């Protein structure tokens, strides 16, 4: 469902972040992306949700060559990919309910459906009772659960999570991982960049290591493999 063919990314200042990456990620895969700082992991993720464009090479998502998408098709493409960040990125002045439903408003869902689905995902992340709170009133782990609810509200086929546990303590991180595992179990592909060795080594999934802009390793039930 996601395929990269010889993808290169050189930033305008000349930094070569990716230097010929080819990979196929199947429907329902759970993929960890590991590697040293600055190796190209975030760049790899950003290319998938089209935040950055490749300098060279092709990227296909659900059979579409995303370089060839017409401008007006981009919102439809994006709704099929949920993105989760290390720093949550919730809108501070909107309630939890509004943060999530806003993602549906953007795609012009009908109000009834919007309410039903927002409550459904709030239930899934176990935050129904916080619907009217503001993000600042929630713990880090709760904020990340809201961000995950927002990422899945439009039923994307893939979630791209860039260090989703990077700001959380170990116990809270495990809660987030259980949630991502459940979302994967329900049929969503998960691509997660992480520096968290315990998580990778304890939840054996496919692991790719990016080093120096290249895929150095791709293992079906891999481990973290670094000492840091």
Ligand X SMILES: Nc1ncnc2c1ncn2[C@@H]1O[C@H](COP(=O)(O)OP(=O)(O)OP(=O)(O)O)[C@@H](O)[C@H]1O
Q: Residues in the site for ligand X, rule: CB under 6 A?
A: 11, 13, 15, 17, 35, 37-43
For ligand X, the closer of residues 9 and 150 by Cβ is 9
Question: Rounded to the nearest whole angstrom, what is the least distance from the CB of residue 37 to ligand X in the complex?
Answer: 3
Q: Is 149 helix (H, G, I), strand (E, B) or coil?
A: helix
Q: Is 208 helix (H, G, I), strand (E, B) or coil?
A: strand
For ligand X, the closer of residues 28 and 57 by Cβ is 57
Question: Rounded to the nearest whole angstrom, what is the least distance from the CB of residue 12 to ligand X in the complex?
Answer: 7
Question: Rounded to the nearest whole angstrom, what is the least distance from the CB of residue 74 to ligand X in the complex?
Answer: 20
- DSSP conformational letter for 39: S
φ, ψ of residue 107 in degrees (nearest 5): -95, 15
For ligand X, the closer of residues 81 and 138 by Cβ is 81
Question: Rounded to the nearest whole angstrom, what is the least distance from the CB of residue 138 to ligand X in the complex?
Answer: 25
CA distance 118 to 110: 12
For ligand X, the closer of residues 87 and 105 by Cβ is 87
Alpha carbon distances (Å) from 101 to 16, 30, 128, 134: 38, 26, 13, 14
């Amino acid at each position: 469902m996601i395929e990269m063919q010889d993808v290169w990314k050189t930033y305008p200042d000349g930094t070569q972040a990716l230097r010929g990456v080819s990979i196929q990620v199947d429907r329902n895969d759970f993929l960890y992306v590991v590697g040293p700082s600055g190796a190209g992991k975030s760049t790899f993720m950003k290319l998938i949700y089209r935040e950055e464009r490749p300098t060279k090479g092709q990227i296909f998502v659900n059979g579409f060559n995303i370089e060839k998408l017409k401008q007006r098709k981009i919102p439809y493409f994006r709704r099929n990919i949920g993105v989760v960040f290390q720093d949550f990125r919730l809108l501070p002045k909107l309630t939890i309910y509004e943060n999530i439903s806003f993602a549906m408003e953007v795609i012009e869902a009908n109000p009834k459906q919007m309410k039903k689905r927002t409550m459904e995902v709030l239930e899934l992340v176990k935050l129904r009772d916080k619907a009217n709170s503001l993000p600042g009133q929630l713990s880090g782990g709760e904020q990340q659960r809201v961000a995950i609810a927002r990422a899945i509200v439009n039923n994307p086929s893939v979630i791209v999570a860039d260090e989703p546990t990077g700001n959380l303590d170990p116990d809270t991180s495990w809660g987030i991982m259980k949630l991502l595992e459940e979302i994967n179990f329900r049929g969503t592909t998960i691509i997660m960049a992480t520096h968290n060795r315990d998580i990778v080594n304890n939840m054996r999934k496919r692991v790719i290591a990016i080093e120096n802009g290249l895929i150095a390793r791709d293992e079906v039930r891999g481990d973290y493999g670094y000492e840091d």
